[in-house]
Amino acid sequence: MLAALKAEESSGQLQLVERDDIDDDEDLFQAIDKLISQGINAGDVRKLQDAGIYTCNGLMMHTKKNLTGIKGLSEAKVDKICEAAEKIVNFGYITGSDMLLKRKSVVRITTGSQALDELLGGGIETLSITEAFGEFRSGKTQLAHTLCVSTQLPTSMRGGNGKVAYIDTEGTFRPDRIVPIAERFGMDPGAVLDNIIYARAYTYEHQYNLLLGLAAKMSEEPFRLLIVDSVIALFRVDFSGRGELAERQQRLAQMLSRLIKIAEEFNVAVYMTNQVIADPGGGMFVTDPKKPAGGHVLAHAATVRLMFRKGKGEQRICKVFDAPNLPEAEAVFQITPGGIADAKD
């Protein structure tokens, strides 16, 4: 049975409650099984599920060329399936007012620091990709660990009331780090860890396949956050030199396209970390000649780009580098044993 987190008044700790007890707003996605009612063969629906397509929304995010590549689906069958899906899901134009209503389903997840939340307009947003880049030890992974816990808080406490998926490419996830963060938020560490699914990726292909496998889990359980730490590391290892750069960027674009589709299909927040590269052409007047790795492909894919840098002691500075709805500004936060928190003077 699915479980989600909810604050219990009787005790200080947050308890797990059955999913049925929570008033859920209308489903954001239409299950792929609904195609059967439109006259599609159940066997063909199963083939789509085997290919990692579990919702009609997800189906419409694939090209017909991709769908005909699924074993056992002919062009005629794909046309029929797409027609049926179009009757279930509206993928045409909607008005700006409708879009405003749709944006009401966006959940903003607290980072643990009020100053950082205010900078982000309330927290890390669902339905979008938030990218954090900076040098090592600038707080990117610490924010990821804090979000693993804060996502499970009820929405009344500025959480996401959902589970977390964590794809680790650098081997930096530490479950023992989650324990003090959970205790800071007054949550049961065991229950918090049970609501995090973790995978360690070793190649860029493995990383992509892990994303494809997420659709099955997200269509069944209430996920609110996907963390990829870091998105670029394996691409920098598996592709070398300028000769392979074009292919690397193409594969990276496919991976990022998959991430934005997951975010929009299941209303989850995607938080990914990125590395920096030295920029010798940055000019002699630039005090810190570093830029985010991944080039323009990564720059265009991320909805919100945050630049992290070290401050004094345990303090870190976060700057909004690029965002469609946020002004360019900075916030100071601190890394504490209980995760990300407001800086103390």
Share of the chain above pLDDT 70, in %: 90
* Residue 343 one-letter amino acid: A
pLDDT tens digit sequence for 137-175? 899 999 999 999 999 999 999 999 999 999 999 999 999
Which contiguous run of DSSP H or E holds residue 42? helix 42-50
Per-residue pLDDT, 90:
83
Q: Is the pLDDT of residue 16 over 60?
A: no
How sure is the predictor about 21, in pLDDT bands with cuts at 50, 70 and 90? very low
* Residue 154 one-letter amino acid: P
Per-residue pLDDT, 282:
60
State the average pLDDT for the chain: 87
Per-residue pLDDT, 280:
75
Q: Is the pLDDT of residue 13 over 80?
A: no
Q: Is the pLDDT of residue 83 over 60?
A: yes
pLDDT tens digit sequence for 180-201? 999 999 999 999 999 999 999 9
Neighbouring CB atoms inside 10 A of 215's CB total 22
pTM here? 0.88
Q: Tell me how far apart the alpha carbons of residues 233 and 204 are, in angstroms, rounded to a whole number.
A: 9
Q: Once rounded to an integer, what is the mean pLDDT over residues 280-290?
A: 67
Residues 6 or more apart whose Cβ sits within 8 Å of residue 324: 303, 304
Per-residue pLDDT, 254:
93
Per-residue pLDDT, 241:
85
How sure is the predictor about 119, in pLDDT bands with cuts at 50, 70 and 90? very high
How sure is the predictor about 205, in pLDDT bands with cuts at 50, 70 and 90? very high
Own/partner long-range contacts of 74-80 (Cβ < 8 Å, ≥24 apart): 77/44, 80/40
Q: Once rounded to an integer, what is the mean pLDDT over residues 237-246?
A: 91
pLDDT tens digit sequence for 259-283? 999 999 999 999 999 999 887 766 6
Give the CB-side neighbour count of residue 21, counting CA atoms within 13 A. 13
pLDDT tens digit sequence for 27-45? 567 888 888 898 888 999 9
CB 335 within 8 A of CB 142: yes
Considering only residues 3 and 83, tell me which one the structure prediction assigns the higher pLDDT: 83
pLDDT tens digit sequence for 291-320? 899 999 999 999 999 999 999 988 999 999
What are φ and ψ of residue 321, in 5° steps?
-90, -35
Q: Tell me how far apart the alpha carbons of residues 37 and 105 are, in angstroms, rounded to a whole number.
A: 27
Q: Once rounded to an integer, what is the mean pLDDT over residues 71-84?
A: 91
**What b/e readout covers 100-110, taking b as 16+ CB neighbours within 10 angstroms?**
eeeeeeebbbb
